[in-house]
């Protein structure tokens, strides 16, 4: 069984990259999560997520139907065992697009999974992508930026890093890991270096300082 876990701060580009992979390789399929978040205008129930209310989500938790679940940006998200078993049963390469808290829970349950952390080239570009997506308010984007910082500080839990600066380059690296099964130490070192730079940018960049004081 080959399961791939892909995590990245919101706005980094993981959905864009994963969708492209699925379109090109029919053996790769997303493991559709359940969420209590409302659907965005372009999202479809059962394709992007199984959109459920909080009551339903809580009963699934109580019944032990999730491999992992977490509260992310104020909403609940979880990976159901049944969805993953279905994909594995069909001989697919499932991709779990989960956050870092989710991987902290799931890594003990699926220790053979290949974990991939996608990084933005800078916080500034992450912020611009969140703005460009046009789906979240300023406050929501700020919450996502803060969470990005927390997630990046746990990137060491992953065994592959991809830097999404140029989308085609990032896609070709994702393909190498998922389709060719390759692992590059150079990418791991580059990823770790970038994590340090991102950490520094978040703490010291003037534009982040002024956003923080504006939103107080």
Closer by beta carbon to ligand 5GP, 29 or else 99: 99
Between CA 164 and CA 120 the distance in angstroms is 5
The verdict on 94 binding ligand 5GP (CB under 6 A) reads no
Between CA 95 and CA 79 the distance in angstroms is 11
- Taking residue 64's Cβ as centre, other Cβ atoms within 10 Å add up to 8
The verdict on 140 binding ligand ADP (CB under 6 A) reads no
Between CA 120 and CA 199 the distance in angstroms is 12
Contact of residue 133 among ligand ADP, ligand 5GP, none (CB under 5-8 Å per partner type) = ligand ADP
Closer by beta carbon to ligand 5GP, 136 or else 184: 136
Contact of residue 98 among ligand ADP, ligand 5GP, none (CB under 5-8 Å per partner type) = ligand 5GP
The verdict on 70 binding ligand 5GP (CB under 6 A) reads yes
Closer by beta carbon to ligand ADP, 40 or else 109: 40
Between CA 209 and CA 135 the distance in angstroms is 23
Closer by beta carbon to ligand 5GP, 133 or else 176: 133
What tokens appear for 85 in the block?
């078993």
Q: Which of residues 26-45 bind ligand 5GP (CB under 6 A)?
A: 33, 37
Whether the Cβ atoms of residue 164 and residue 119 lie closer than 8 Å to each other: yes
């Amino acid at each position: 069984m080959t399961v791939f876990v892909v995590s990245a701060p919101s706005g980094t580009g993981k959905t864009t990259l994963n969708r492209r992979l699925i379109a090109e390789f029919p053996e790769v399929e997303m493991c559709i999560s359940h969420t209590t978040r409302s659907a965005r205008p372009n999202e479809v129930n059962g394709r992007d997520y199984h959109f459920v209310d909080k009551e339903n989500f809580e009963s699934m938790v109580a019944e032990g139907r999730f491999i992992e679940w977490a509260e992310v940006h104020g909403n609940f998200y979880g990976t159901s065992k049944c969805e993953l078993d279905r994909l594995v049963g069909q001989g697919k390469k499932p991709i779990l697009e989960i956050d870092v808290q989710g991987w902290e829970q799931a890594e003990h349950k699926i220790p053979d999974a290949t974990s991939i952390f996608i990084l933005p080239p800078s916080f500034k570009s992450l912020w611009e992508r969140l703005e460009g997506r046009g789906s979240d308010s300023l406050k929501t984007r700020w919450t996502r930026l803060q969470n990005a910082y927390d997630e990046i500080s746990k990137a060491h839990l992953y065994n592959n890093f991809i830097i999404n600066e140029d989308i085609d380059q990032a896609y070709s690296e994702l393909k190498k890991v998922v389709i060719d099964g390759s692992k590059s130490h150079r990418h791991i070192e580059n990823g770790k270096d970038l994590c340090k730079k991102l950490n520094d940018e978040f703490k010291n960049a003037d534009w982040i300082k002024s956003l923080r004081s504006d939103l107080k």
